[in-house]
Structure 1
Amino acid sequence: VLSASLVVALIYLPVLGGVSGGISQVFGDASQTLRQLPWLVRALLVPPTLYGLFVGAMQLLNPHYLLSDGRPGGLWGVLMGIALFLISAVISSIVMGSVEVRWHKRRITSGHQRTSFGYFIKFITGNPVMPVVTLAGVVGFVVITFQTFSTNNNGVEFFVATEPEQAIVYVQARGNLSVREKDTLLKQAELIILNTPGVQSTFAFAGEGGLLANTGGAGAPLDTIGQAQIELIPWGDRPTIQNTRKILGFIPWTSSTMDIAYDGNLVLNNLQNRLDVIPGIKTQILNLAMGPASAKPVHLRLKGDDWDDLLTATSLARQKFENTEGLSAIEDTLPLPGIDWRIDVDIEKAGRYGANVATVGSMVQLVTRGILLDTMRVESSDEEIEIRVRFPEQDRVLSTLDTLKVRTPNGLIPLSNFISRKPVAKLGQITRVDRKRFFDVKAGVHSDATKIAIGEDGISREIKMTPSEIIKEISAWLDASSLPQGIEWEWTGDQEDEAESGAFLTNAFMGALGLMFIILLAQFNSIYNSILVLLAVILSTTGVLIGMLVMDQAFSIIMTGTGIVALAGIVVNNNIVLIDTYQEYSTYMPRLEAITRTAEARIRPVLLTTITTMAGLTPMMFGLSLDFIGGGYTVDSPTALWWKQLATAVVFGLGTATMLTLVFTPAMLALRIWTVSGAYGAALAIRASSWTGEGRRIREDYRLSKAAKKYKGHEISWEDDTLDTEPSK
């Protein structure tokens, strides 16, 4: 943001008046004094002054650039860079002014002088054919751009993929494990995590629980026995590699590149490979990316009423996920295999012995969870602590039920006389949505997953796999596969968020266009001109797609979509300026001449506004961040990656829309003039078909013209008699 503001301020700096005018006069006098020297001597002074300007800028960005001998930089280094930069800028301005080649000024002629751009606009508007050709060319360009993007894009993503700095490692195992056994397995994973290069710290938690983290609704897998939340080394503190080279063969340039081994994605991939070798457990790594939290991007939900069919469909979907290339950390919500012990109480027998059923239940609780007596609060906890009574640990086994006796009016009676126990399949949990049972199958996508795609030209190329492409592939399989009857499926998770965000941005976009149309209609009092202004939005969207292709970026629902909505309020300004000026000029000059004069008069402010905006956003588009305090710069930092796609959309969209608008708008204005004047027969016939006064007049003129062609006039001939000019006698 600071670099963008600085660029815009520097561009407008020359138009300052007052003090800047006096300074400019002083510089001009100094340059005139230097002109007394030979031109070759003045030319030799240019490279040193420009090099001083470069050194001053580098010292400003890096306070240790000239103070590399151990002397402190900091504020003094920055002030030194500012002073050197300003002095070099003054000297460079004077020297460059002295070597300027001054040509003799041409004689000024009166009247309007047509510019080159004016002749071009006159060429595309001065006859009925060129506006149609221009319109066809612009429409063809837009159509070709959309078709090219549809076949060569990098896919669609919900939010910008940023550098990971935090993650959660889920440790999975199955079996009736105690907390200590779970902790033992978790310690093995924790030891590997701490010994992985790039990991700064970790917090491990065995059993259920853990730190609260924004996972975007992504819960832990059902068979999770523990988790470790890790923090990677911050992006700015990661080891770097120094690169020294010379620009133009003599200008020293030192840059630092982050060690590729400490890249966040590579660190997590390396960690996953090392965790996979631990026997008896599985692990999943969830990247806690910055920005909106999101669960696993590929999230399929299967719904149905029949339990067995639902289990079969979920197993088939899980198998398809495992056979799909590019997916990772696949999981489902099928019930985990396990055993539950069901204890049945024969109420008839208990009544025969005079045993109370509530007493029997309390005896069973002494073996299992214990009897709840009360709750209490302690200073070290915000929650109430339960007070339970139960048997010692060595007696908390199912065989204890065979030896327990319950007191009855008839004396102590063994529990085994009226209770029975048997193992049953563990059910786990029952989940419903819209009154239907459902199971989920979820998976992540490898950050480096690629595939070979063959274009329409038959050329194969490697492209990055995105969740949208994988979802499209699995959706085709679901449509063609024979899932059990009555099974419904839908995509949730990121796909659902993308659909909701896309619908919201679409509604916002259409709402913005509607409001702008109402305002423009009130301003111009012309539906044609109002629609013509809004057509610049379509042209800007074409530029956005070109930017995605040129910068090799994926289309982000959030950032790119926001850029398109923002462009809708920016690009219309150029058309408003052109049409408003045309309406003013057309009141006192021919309308075709007014179009040409408008283009000539407004091309400079239109281009100046566009270029300054594009220049201000260019550093953001390339991910360039300048450190004005500590000096130096960074490229593609995690924070800068957020704004690259939005800046790319604005820069390319605004630039393309401006260039096309300067041609398209004059052509469309001329097209209307030629249409009204009757240059196009089809348009004249359409106007004549209306029941307005103009339509009746055109039909009457056509009828009279047709009747005049049928009328055959009489031939009139006469002879010239010689007049007698002599006077009579």
Structure 2
Amino acid sequence: MKYLNTAISHHRSMFCMLLLILLAGLYARSSTTIESSPDVTIPIIWVQVYLDGVSPEDSARLLVRPMEKELRNLEGVDELIANAYESNAVMIIRFNAEEDIDQALVNVREAIDRAKAELPRDAEEPVINEMSADAFAAIVVTLTGDQVGERQLFQAAQKLKRQFENLPGVLNANMVGHREEVVEAIVDPALLEIYQITSADMTNAVLNNNLLVPAGEVDNGKGRFSIKVPGLIENYQDVYQLPLKSTSNGHVLLGDIADIRRTFKDPKRYTSVNGKPAITIEVQKRLGAGSIEISAAVREQVNANLKYLPQGIEVGYVLDQSDYTKKMVNEMQGNILTAMALVMIVVVAALGIRSGILVGLGIPFSLLFAIIITYSIGYTFNFMVMFGMLLALGMLIDGAIVITEFADRKMAEGLSSRDAYMESVKRMFWPVIASTATTLAAFLPVMFWPGVSGEFMRYLPVTVFAVLFGSLFYALLFAPVIGAHFGKNNMSPSVRNYLQHLESDPPTSLAGITGNYARILAWLVQRPLQVILATLAILIAIFLLYGKYNAGVEFFTESETKYGSATVRAQGNLSAQEIRDLVREVEQRILEVKGVNTLYTASGSDSSDSSKAKDQIGSIWIELNDPATLARSTHEVYAEIRQHTADMPGIIVNAKGFEDGPPVGKPIQIQLQGLNRDKLLSTAQFIRQHLSTVAGLRDITDTTPLPGIEWEMQVNRSLAAQLGVNVLEVGRAVQLVTNGVKVGEYRPDDADEEVDIRVRYPLSNRGINVLDQLRINTNDGVIPISDFVQRVAKPKVDTIKRINGIEVVTVKADVDLGVLADDKVKEIQQWLAQQTIDPEVSVVFRGANEEQDKSKAFLSVAFSLALFLMFILLVTQFNSFYQGLLILSAVVMSTAGVLLGLLVTQATFSVILTGIGIVALAGIVVNNNIILIDTYNHLRKAQALSPIDAVIAAGAQRLRPVFLTTATTIMGMLPIALNTSVDLISRTVITGGEISSTWIPLATAIVYGLLFSTLLTLIVTPVMLVLPSYLVKKYHKLKPAVLINT
């Protein structure tokens, strides 16, 4: 090992390099953005187009189809979702995971530009945005004030919004709970009739007098001057002076026939905080920005503006993600430090203080080395990165343990520390390389996990890779250099005697645990067939018992969560005020539940959000007290909220905590797709009716139209043409009774957005009955609109949804606490198989079930690929197919150990976390076999021992390092597996915390699998090593007998 000889000779340079890496790691840690969850780039782009007053059917025909035609031809599109609503249409373009989102955004913009030519002339400019996994606000700022006017509150919120959007890292700041400004011209119908003024006259008056006309330039020889004709409306008072009509008696101005005022649009949505009406500002962060920094900057900005706000305005904060992020970081860092302490205790107890410290130095080195890597590739310091470090913590010192333990044995034989570590690295270089490579091979396929789940989980294997590379660097370079310089042969006489006897005496003559193990092993290797058959019987029994008595499967574990939401549903033709009152009643009920800290409520229906139920009238975001301080689980709190609101007539409330892991929506989602709408709707109702009878399901919704009617104004076109009236004039006349006719817009100096100018009738002249009495100018004079327009009631269609050009309806359901969605999906699938579903309607399970099936398929492939890669490495290392397969047998044992642990504890199998745990175990458990078989081969070659003597000696010599590597890995995972977070910094112990509960399935899988496989490995692997020689002997004994008998 020339490199090591050079490194030891230049140990001062190596110490400087070690210090440099540690300092660089500390700098990277302090500079890395801290975040609660990974920043996942979702390859989804949405496009929204508004066309005021358009029906969903016309929206699908006029808005959706032109965009659909252009978007479906884009490369890399996985799914094209179209939602046609009243007054707007939304296109959701889901790209393949490998597509570059920036290029996809450019392609979508170009496609929409091409589609614009076919969109209606009155359609607004399409809005194109990228969808983010972290779409919820980093912090919500609330403004309340009972004694403050609405305009003052609005202007104060608007000022803060502008300042927030200028902060570094802020993507946008959305105001919620305010009403948009509008200039209303309330016209007298009688005056319109007297002056024979139409809505077209008013529209033209605004359009023709709200212009900035550049009239060119004049050069008079003495200078060059630009000329303009100013005509823009600058304030609402200018609207008074707009001329509508000229007569012999003078001019008719808009102010002559209308009462003009700058006001707010009719209320549609209300927001409140703990029951108090509020305007809120939801601050969203950019990708890569930290919620802690955003929260601090927002609070600082608010504090700087407090003295300038009108008296009576109170500013508060809700749903501040920085609080959770700080708690998560402290809890995870505490777990890492606790695991380090436990690992160090085990190592020092087994190797002594000097060797233990030498091995333990590899922990901070490897972790800081990994932080340098993750920082350099742009990762945030989130809980996936930290758990990757925690997962690797028990494994990262395996190489250092093997190197140091072998060097201790050589120093016990009398070698100097330099020679001992040189010999140790020379002897164990390739076994350490092989063991680390096989571990990395297990994690390598996981790095290529496709889809959103893969984007979310990829941080874990990348972090493990970085940590283990750092540990390999330390074990083969820095540990030998430090050991050669500071290591001394000053071990206690008992340890020296133990190591000397281990090298020179027969293992069966040793005392203590090693001697007992050697004697048991000597007895077992004489009976290899019995041992192997017993092992197979145990493994088969475990797999069969688990298949029959398992506790079920879940996609991602449900953990304790401080944040959640409640949806409020009610049917009926409710006004905005009625909706507000109903939601406020629910809000008061929830506030009565013990453990609820803060409620942030938004009431009002939003038909343009396809993720919401059609009858959803309100959303309540819930912040509970710290789960550690609650006397019960957060799941029980949400269950009580549902129970406490269950008796409210006509209202359905569903409260639940926010999801951990990849976003998938409701656990049960049944998508129906077909060309015949009637068959589609009837099938959806049939399935929904059945789901309502299935025990364990709740909050069942679908996307079929809600029962209700809409009024259709059917124009007799022939008669209208005779009267000189067109459909546009009829529509504008109707708008005077409804939302008003938009005749233009202007931009005030004190507003960020353009303000609409609308003309409408007084409140007393608005209503359904007024439509029949509405009068309109025609060639025959002013006549009632009912003479040629018939008002007809028709079933209301509020949304039309299509996927890849075909209409779809989705039925969704949630599950009760303790009920597994996977079990219910199988139950529903069995029921569907017995039903006669119309062949024109296809049924597909989406959501969590779809992601679960994809994850299962990927993890199965990843597991197989990992085993194949590991087998290639092992065959390369040992040049033996038999020994390669023998080493991989530990993977079967570890998987059986995982299933046994789940069976005993009756825990569910988490597809994501338990699946990753099994894949990770494949790389961990083979390390013991690698070192054991390498030692066996070395003893056979160097000392010419028989297979039985060699395997007993190898087992005895490797018992201590096998125990150490197993114990350190288990100790690293034990606090999480026990659902306990021990924070050594704050000196607190939290049982059932938000963070530890998330990772229980992964941690328990590693603990169960590693413990079980290690126990079997220490027995089965030595027995399997002597099996070939045992069979050869048996064959030679049987051969003479066969010859004699013949």
Q: Structures share a fold, TM > 0.5?
A: yes
The amino acid across from 1:141 in the alignment is: I
User: Deviation string for 1:198-226 (max 9, x for gaps)?
Assistant: 1111122221359x9xxxx9922211122
Does residue 1:619 correspond to 2:975, yes or no?
yes
Q: Are residues 373 and 635 of structure 1, via their aligned partners in 2, closer, same or farther at CA, if it must alter by over 3 Å?
A: same
Q: Are residues 366 and 594 of structure 1, via their aligned partners in 2, closer, same or farther at CA, if it must alter by over 3 Å?
A: same
Deviation at 1:577? 0.8
**What is the aligned partner in structure 2 of residue 169 from structure 1?**
566
Does residue 1:124 correspond to 2:459, yes or no?
no
Conservation of the 8 A alpha-carbon contact between 2:560 and 2:998: no
The amino acid across from 1:4 in the alignment is: A
Deviation at 1:562? 1.6
Choose from 420, 423, 433 the match for 2:790: 420
The amino acid across from 1:641 in the alignment is: S
SS in structure 2 opposite 1:610?
Answer: helix
Does residue 1:151 correspond to 2:507, yes or no?
no
Choose from 226, 230, 233 the match for 2:625: 233
2: CA distance between counterparts of 1:481 and 1:306? 19
Does residue 1:367 correspond to 2:702, yes or no?
no
2: CA distance between counterparts of 1:608 and 1:543? 19
Unaligned residue ranges in structure 1 (runs of 5+): 22-99, 101-106, 239-258, 449-464, 685-700, 711-729
The amino acid across from 1:622 in the alignment is: L
The amino acid across from 2:947 in the alignment is: R
Residue correspondence of structure 1 range 162-311 to structure 2 within 5 A:
162-208=559-605, 219-238=611-630, 259-260=631-632, 263-311=633-681
Q: Are residues 333 and 18 of structure 1, via their aligned partners in 2, closer, same or farther at CA, if it must alter by over 3 Å?
A: closer
Q: Are residues 141 and 20 of structure 1, via their aligned partners in 2, closer, same or farther at CA, if it must alter by over 3 Å?
A: closer
1: CA distance between counterparts of 2:599 and 2:355? 59
Deviation at 1:383? 5.7
Choose from 923, 937, 962 the match for 1:606: 962
2: CA distance between counterparts of 1:667 and 1:397? 90
Deviation at 1:16? 3.7
Deviation at 1:141? 1.0
Conservation of the 8 A alpha-carbon contact between 2:562 and 2:623: yes
Residue correspondence of structure 1 range 321-400 to structure 2 within 5 A:
321-375=691-745, 385-400=755-770
**What is the aligned partner in structure 1 of residue 918 from structure 2?**
564
Residue correspondence of structure 1 range 434-473 to structure 2 within 5 A:
434-448=804-818, 465-473=819-827
2: CA distance between counterparts of 1:597 and 1:110? 10
Conservation of the 8 A alpha-carbon contact between 1:674 and 1:680: no
**What is the aligned partner in structure 1 of residue 530 from structure 2?**
133
Conservation of the 8 A alpha-carbon contact between 1:135 and 1:664: yes
**What is the aligned partner in structure 2 of residue 580 from structure 1?**
934
TM-score (norm 2): 0.50
Which structure has the larger Rg over C-alpha atoms?
1
SS in structure 1 opposite 2:1009?
Answer: helix
**What is the aligned partner in structure 2 of residue 665 from structure 1?**
1021
Does residue 1:633 correspond to 2:1030, yes or no?
no
**What is the aligned partner in structure 2 of residue 95 from structure 1?**
none
Q: Are residues 322 and 365 of structure 1, via their aligned partners in 2, closer, same or farther at CA, if it must alter by over 3 Å?
A: same
**What is the aligned partner in structure 2 of residue 79 from structure 1?**
none
Does residue 1:432 correspond to 2:829, yes or no?
no
2: CA distance between counterparts of 1:288 and 1:381? 36
Does residue 1:112 correspond to 2:506, yes or no?
yes
Q: Are residues 384 and 208 of structure 1, via their aligned partners in 2, closer, same or farther at CA, if it must alter by over 3 Å?
A: farther
Conservation of the 8 A alpha-carbon contact between 1:218 and 1:294: no
Q: Are residues 652 and 376 of structure 1, via their aligned partners in 2, closer, same or farther at CA, if it must alter by over 3 Å?
A: farther
The amino acid across from 1:163 in the alignment is: E
Which range moved further: 194-203 or 389-398?
A: 389-398
**What is the aligned partner in structure 1 of residue 867 from structure 2?**
513
2: CA distance between counterparts of 1:286 and 1:709? 78
1: CA distance between counterparts of 2:1036 and 2:671? 58
Conservation of the 8 A alpha-carbon contact between 2:947 and 2:1025: no
2: CA distance between counterparts of 1:359 and 1:384? 25
Q: Are residues 377 and 644 of structure 1, via their aligned partners in 2, closer, same or farther at CA, if it must alter by over 3 Å?
A: farther
Unaligned residue ranges in structure 2 (runs of 5+): 1-335, 358-493, 495-500, 509-514
Deviation at 1:338? 0.5
**What is the aligned partner in structure 1 of residue 1003 from structure 2?**
647
Q: Are residues 109 and 426 of structure 1, via their aligned partners in 2, closer, same or farther at CA, if it must alter by over 3 Å?
A: closer
Choose from 329, 335, 339 the match for 1:4: 339
Deviation at 1:113? 4.8
SS in structure 1 opposite 2:672?
Answer: strand
User: Deviation string for 1:217-241 (max 9, x for gaps)?
Assistant: 9922211122222211122344xxx
2: CA distance between counterparts of 1:145 and 1:327? 32
SS in structure 2 opposite 1:136?
Answer: helix
Q: Matched residue pairs, number?
A: 560
The amino acid across from 1:180 in the alignment is: Q
The amino acid across from 1:356 in the alignment is: N
2: CA distance between counterparts of 1:592 and 1:108? 16
1: CA distance between counterparts of 2:502 and 2:697? 72
Which range moved further: 345-354 or 652-661?
A: 345-354
2: CA distance between counterparts of 1:438 and 1:356? 36
Which range moved further: 197-206 or 412-421?
A: 412-421
Residue correspondence of structure 1 range 519-558 to structure 2 within 5 A:
519-558=873-912
Q: Are residues 19 and 470 of structure 1, via their aligned partners in 2, closer, same or farther at CA, if it must alter by over 3 Å?
A: closer
Q: Are residues 508 and 382 of structure 1, via their aligned partners in 2, closer, same or farther at CA, if it must alter by over 3 Å?
A: farther
Q: Are residues 317 and 12 of structure 1, via their aligned partners in 2, closer, same or farther at CA, if it must alter by over 3 Å?
A: same
Conservation of the 8 A alpha-carbon contact between 1:369 and 1:390: yes
**What is the aligned partner in structure 2 of residue 457 from structure 1?**
none
1: CA distance between counterparts of 2:744 and 2:502? 103
The amino acid across from 2:1005 in the alignment is: A
Deviation at 1:4? 1.5
**What is the aligned partner in structure 2 of residue 243 from structure 1?**
none
Q: Are residues 380 and 119 of structure 1, via their aligned partners in 2, closer, same or farther at CA, if it must alter by over 3 Å?
A: farther
2: CA distance between counterparts of 1:326 and 1:626? 36
SS in structure 1 opposite 2:642?
Answer: helix
SS in structure 2 opposite 1:679?
Answer: helix
The amino acid across from 2:917 in the alignment is: G
User: Deviation string for 1:337-365 (max 9, x for gaps)?
Assistant: 11011112222112212223332332222
The amino acid across from 2:1001 in the alignment is: Q
Deviation at 1:576? 0.6
User: Deviation string for 1:423-446 (max 9, x for gaps)?
Assistant: 111122222335443322222221
2: CA distance between counterparts of 1:19 and 1:604? 14
**What is the aligned partner in structure 2 of residue 248 from structure 1?**
none
2: CA distance between counterparts of 1:186 and 1:316? 30
User: Deviation string for 1:111-166 (max 9, x for gaps)?
Assistant: 5352443343333334xxx3222222212111111111122222111122212422
Q: Are residues 604 and 629 of structure 1, via their aligned partners in 2, closer, same or farther at CA, if it must alter by over 3 Å?
A: closer
Q: Are residues 382 and 572 of structure 1, via their aligned partners in 2, closer, same or farther at CA, if it must alter by over 3 Å?
A: farther
**What is the aligned partner in structure 2 of residue 94 from structure 1?**
none
Q: Are residues 384 and 598 of structure 1, via their aligned partners in 2, closer, same or farther at CA, if it must alter by over 3 Å?
A: farther
Which range moved further: 619-628 or 382-391?
A: 382-391
User: Deviation string for 1:165-224 (max 9, x for gaps)?
Assistant: 2222222222221111111211211221222221111122221359x9xxxx99222111
1: CA distance between counterparts of 2:704 and 2:757? 35
Residue correspondence of structure 1 range 480-519 to structure 2 within 5 A:
480-519=834-873
Conservation of the 8 A alpha-carbon contact between 1:218 and 1:295: no
Q: Are residues 567 and 19 of structure 1, via their aligned partners in 2, closer, same or farther at CA, if it must alter by over 3 Å?
A: closer
User: Deviation string for 1:266-306 (max 9, x for gaps)?
Assistant: 32222222212222322222322444444221222233343
Deviation at 1:410? 4.5
